[in-house]
């Protein structure tokens, strides 16, 4: 039999030789999933022995990971803001930057709590669901153009007991939306079409619809900036996640006759990643 520490080390070595990012983190995450324990538990009890069945499952998952499949797709779930979400190849795997989008939004909203919230491009539903937990009294709507994504989002909302609080709507952005909101948030597709093929195999496992922002990556963001004023209440806040180096172009979409001055906020990596802008 092998200890937790030895198995993690073995996994890390194999992942390193295959050029997988963050090999130690992935090796720990796989074993944490197999043993149904947290990563701190693995570190605290790293001399405990791992059973044969668990070691076999660890190696099976590791083999899939070595082929370049995202771990979330292999195990069918991932964590976002401390909650577990189902994911499948039809939705984007929620990213840490989007957790930052939410925490930065809280700072921007300050004491003006929104009563009505729209999550555009909801995917797994992680943003809408997190906001439903944060704003207990708000009515939350969540939109996606993909019926498969909406199915996953609804399943996640049911699993987390907030399905009754969120109105899931199939819509091409605002097409089927007839209301106005205090707060609109979106992590839209923002990668330029011809860049997608150059991304890592893991990113290319994501649905194209979740990534593809058209020729310059800005097609959906531009549409949101044009259509959002019809669906935001006066002084309502729009929060957007954007791609690297897009900020200078994106701020120009928000004209001074309709919008207050946009604010660009950097993510933990120092990249200009979020735009916050209030309607006049």
Size of the site for ligand SAM (CB under 6 A): 23
Say if CB 90 and CB 148 are below 8 A apart.
yes
- CB count, 10 Å around CB of 165? 18
The first and second tokens of residue 124, run together, are 């797994």
Q: Are 253 and 221 in contact (CB under 8 A)?
A: yes
Among 134, 210, 232, 277, binds ligand SAM (CB under 6 A): 210
Pick between residue 10 and residue 151 the one whose CB is nearest to ligand SAM: 151
Question: Which residue's CB is nearer to ligand SAM, number 144 or number 267?
Answer: 144
Decide: residue 263, CB within 10 A, 0-12 exposed, 13-18 middle, 19+ buried. middle
Residue 252: φ, ψ to 5°: -70, -20
- Based on the shown chain and the rule CB under 6 A, indicate whether residue 142 belongs to the binding site for ligand SAM: no
> How are strands ordered across the β-sheet holding 232-241?
166-170, 139-144, 116-120, 181-186, 232-241, 272-278, 263-266
Comparing CB distances to ligand SAM, the nearer of 149 and 232 is: 149
Q: Which is nearer to ligand SAM, 64 or 227 (CB)?
A: 227
Burial of 52 (0-12, 13-18, 19+ CB in 10 A): exposed
146 near ligand SAM (CB under 6 A): yes
How crowded is residue 193: how many other Cβ atoms within 10 Å of its Cβ?
16
Question: CA of 5: how far to CAs of 1, 8, 18, 100, 254, in Å?
Answer: 12, 5, 20, 32, 52
Nearest approach in angstroms of CB 143 to ligand SAM is 6
Closest distance between ligand SAM and the C-beta of residue 159, in Å?
A: 16
12 near ligand SAM (CB under 6 A): no
- Binding ligand SAM (rule: CB under 6 A), the pick from 70, 114, 189, 262 is 189
Question: What does the per-residue mask of binding to ligand SAM show for 92-131, with x meaning CB under 6 A?
Answer: x-x---x----------------------xxxx-xx----
Nearest-approach distance from CB 43 to ligand SAM, in angstroms: 28
Nearest approach in angstroms of CB 235 to ligand SAM is: 24
* Chain residue whose CB lies nearest ligand SAM: 123
Shorter beta-carbon distance to ligand SAM: residue 15 or 149: 149
Give CA 253 to chain center in angstroms.
24
Which range, of 29-37, 59-67, 90-98, 106-114, touches ligand SAM by CB under 6 A?
Answer: 90-98
CA terminus-to-terminus distance, the chain: 66
Residue with tokens 């439903």: 132
Judged by CB, which is closer to ligand SAM: 8, or 242?
Answer: 242
Write out the residues near ligand SAM by the rule CB under 6 A: 91-92, 94, 98, 121-124, 126-127, 143-146, 149, 172-173, 187-189, 209-210, 220
């Amino acid at each position: 039999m092998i200890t937790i520490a030895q198995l993690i080390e073995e996994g890390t070595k194999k992942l390193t030789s295959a050029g997988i990012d963050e090999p130690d983190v992935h090796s720990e995450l796989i074993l944490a999933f197999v043993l149904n324990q947290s990563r701190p538990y693995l570190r605290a009890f790293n001399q405990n022995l791992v059973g044969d069945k668990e070691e076999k499952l660890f190696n099976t998952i590791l083999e899939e990971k070595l082929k370049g499949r995202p771990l979330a797709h292999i195990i069918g779930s991932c964590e976002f803001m401390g909650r577990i979400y189902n994911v499948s190849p039809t939705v984007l795997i929620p990213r840490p930057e989007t957790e930052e989008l939410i925490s930065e939004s809280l700072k921007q909203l300050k004491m003006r709590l929104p009563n009505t919230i729209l999550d555009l491009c909801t995917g797994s539903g992680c943003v809408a669901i997190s906001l439903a937990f944060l704003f207990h009294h708000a009515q939350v709507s969540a939109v996606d153009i993909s019926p498969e994504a909406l199915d996953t989002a609804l399943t996640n909302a049911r699993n987390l007991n907030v399905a009754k609080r969120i109105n899931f709507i199939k819509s091409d952005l605002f097409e089927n939306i007839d209301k106005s909101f205090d707060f609109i948030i979106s992590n839209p597709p923002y990668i330029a079409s011809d860049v997608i093929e150059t991304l890592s195999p893991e990113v290319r496992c994501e649905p194209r619809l979740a990534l593809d922002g058209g020729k310059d990556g800005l097609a959906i963001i531009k549409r949101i900036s044009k259509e959002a004023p019809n669906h935001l209440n006066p002084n309502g806040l729009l929060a957007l996640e954007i791609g690297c180096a897009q900020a200078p172009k994106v701020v120009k979409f928000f004209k001074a006759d309709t919008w207050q001055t946009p604010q660009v906020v950097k993510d933990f990596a120092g990249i200009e990643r979020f735009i916050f802008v209030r309607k006049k």
